[in-house]
Amino acid sequence: MTSTDTKTNSPPPKAPRPKRRAYTHYSYSAQEKAQAVLSVWTERASPAEICRQLNINWITFHQWQRRAMEGMLQALQSHVNLAKGTALSPRLQALLHKHQLSQSAAKTSQRLEAIQNKLANPPDSAAQKS
């Protein structure tokens, strides 16, 4: 076997892998995100074009679209009737309840302290009757 025979039987050299795009961690404003989502929704640009222009991952853009849709649906829901219930979120209701409990506990401890002071120092009229 000659050296030329081994070269013809060897597999062709592999092409170099394309470099992965480095995604920067730039924080976009809500207005920039809305403009990007609306440009896709109005078919002025494709999602791939937006991802390239903003140097973002397609998953990030998909999350922006999902949050935009959720926000739009929430904004278009009818308002809560306050006569039927509270308009506070469950988290705010829990915080308000916690605050009310702490205020109630503080008032109770003040009242107990006042009662104890009265018991420790009875009025002079009660001492004179005995």
- Quick one: DSSP state of residue 117? H
What is the C-alpha to C-alpha distance for residues 37 and 46, in angstroms, rounded to an integer?
10
Q: Which pLDDT does position 8 carry in this prediction?
A: 61
pLDDT digits (tens, 9 = 90+) for 40-85: 999 999 999 999 999 999 999 999 999 999 888 888 887 665 566 5
Q: Is the pTM of this model over 0.85?
A: no
What is the C-alpha to C-alpha distance for residues 31 and 38, in angstroms, rounded to an integer?
10
Q: Which pLDDT does position 41 carry in this prediction?
A: 92
What is the C-alpha to C-alpha distance for residues 70 and 76, in angstroms, rounded to an integer?
10
C-alpha triplet 43, 33, 71: angle, nearest 5°? 90
Per-residue tokens: 34:
């809305």
Per-residue tokens: 127:
């001492």
Radius of gyration of the chain (CA): 36
pLDDT digits (tens, 9 = 90+) for 94-127: 777 777 888 877 888 888 888 888 888 877 655 5
Q: Are 86 and 93 in contact (CB under 8 A)?
A: yes
